[in-house]
Structure 1
Amino acid sequence: MLTFRRALAVAAVILTCFLLLRNTHTSYSEAPLVHNSPKPTGSYHDNKVIQDTPPEPASTGTGTGTGTESAKPASTGAAWNGDSGGRVALAKKPLTQLPLEDLKALPIRKQLSYAFPYDAEGKFPAYIWQTWKYTPASGEFSETFRPAEASWTELHPAFVHEVITDEIAGHLVKHFYATVPEVVEAYNSLPIPVMKADFFRYLILLARGGIYSDIDTTALKSAVEWVPAEVPRSTYGLVIGIEADPDRPDWHEWYSRRIQFCQWTIQSKPGHPVLVDVVATITEETLRRKKAGELDQKHIKSVVEFTGPAVWTDAIFKFFNNAEYFDMTTSKGNITFQQFTGIKQAKKVGDVVVLPITSFSPGVGQMGAGEDDDPMAFVKHAFEGTWKPENERHIGA
Structure 2
Amino acid sequence: MLVPKPLRRVALAALFALLFVGWQLLHHEKQPDFREVRHDYPMLLKYIEGKEGNGGAWHFPQDWPQDSDPPLTIIGAATLALNFTSQPQRQLPHSAIPRIIHQTWKDTRLETWPTTFRESAEKWLRVVDEGELAYMFWDDAGVAQFIRYFEPNLEAEFFALPTKVEQSDVFRVLVCKWIGGVYVDMDTEPLESPMDWISQVDIAPWTDQQTGHTYHSSEPVRAIVGIEADNPPDTDTYWRMGYFYPVQLTQWAFAWAPQHPILTQFIDQIFDTVRKVADRHDGDLNSEPTQLELAYIDPVNVTGPIAFTDSVSSWLGGQADLRWNAVTGLGDGGKSKYVEDVLVLPITGFSPGRGKYGNMGSKPITDPSARLYHHAEGSWRKISISVELGKFCRSAFGLCRDWSKVSHGGFFS
Q: TM-score, normalised by structure 1?
A: 0.64
Matched with 2:379 is 386
Partners of 1:227 and 1:346 within 8 A in 2: no
User: Map of 1:14-163 to 2, 5 A cutoff?
Assistant: 62-66=55-59, 68-69=61-62, 123-135=96-108, 138-157=110-129, 158-163=132-137
- The answer for the alignment partner of 1:32 in structure 2 is none
RMSD: 3.0
Please list every run of 5 or more consecutive structure 1 residues that lacks an aligned counterpart in the other structure. Answer: 1-58, 72-116
Q: Pick the aligned partner of 2:222 from 237, 241, 253.
A: 237
Q: How many Å separate the matches in 2 of 1:295 and 1:380?
A: 37
Matches of 1:358 and 1:140 in 2, distance apart?
Answer: 31
Spell out, residue by residue over 1:209-245, the C-alpha distance to the aligned partner (whole angstroms, 9 max, x if none). 0011111111110112111057599522000000011
Aligned counterpart for 1:357 among listed residues 333, 343, 347: 347
Equivalence for 1:41: none
1:260 is paired with a residue of what secondary structure? strand
Whole-angstrom CA distance in 2 between matches of 1:203 and 1:257: 24
Counterpart of 1:267 in 2: which secondary structure? strand
Q: Which amino acid aligns with 1:279?
A: I
Of 272, 281, 292, which aligns to 2:269? 281
Aligned position for 1:252: 239
Greater Cα offset, 228-237 or 313-322: 228-237
Kindly state the Cα deviation for residue 373 of structure 1 after the two structures are TM-superposed.
0.7
Distance 2:95 2:329 in 1: 30
Higher relative contact order at CA 8 Å, sep ≥6: structure 1 or structure 2? 1
- SS state at 2:123 partner: helix
Q: Is the 8 A contact 2:178 2:258 kept in 1?
A: yes
SS of aligned partner of 1:197: helix
- Using the TM superposition, name which of 380-389 and 250-259 deviates more: 250-259
Distance (whole Å) between structure 1 residues aligned to residue 179 and residue 252 of structure 2: 17
Paired residues of 1:153 and 1:159 also in contact (CA < 8 A): no
CA gap 1:305/1:221 in 2 versus in 1, 3 angstroms: same
Bigger helix share: 2
Q: Is the aligned partner of 1:191 residue 2:162?
A: yes
Kindly indicate whether the alpha-carbon contact (under 8 Å) linking 1:123 and 1:234 is maintained by their aligned counterparts in 2.
no
Find 2:139's aligned residue among 165, 186, 192.
165
Sequence identity percentage: 26
CA contact (8 A) 2:188 2:372 kept: yes
Q: Which amino acid aligns with 2:344?
A: V
Aligned to 2:111, the other structure's residue is in SS state: coil
Measured after TM superposition, the shift of residue 341 of structure 1 is 4.4
Contact 2:55 2:138 in 1 (8 A): yes
How many angstroms does 1:298 deviate by?
5.0
Q: How many residues align?
A: 280
Moved more, 140-149 or 291-300: 291-300
Closer, same or farther: CA 177–204 of 1 in aligned 2, 3 Å: same
Task: Give, in whole Å, the separation in 2 of the partners of 1:252 and 1:142.
Answer: 31
Over 3 Å counting, the alpha-carbon distance change for 1:313 and 1:60 in structure 2 is farther
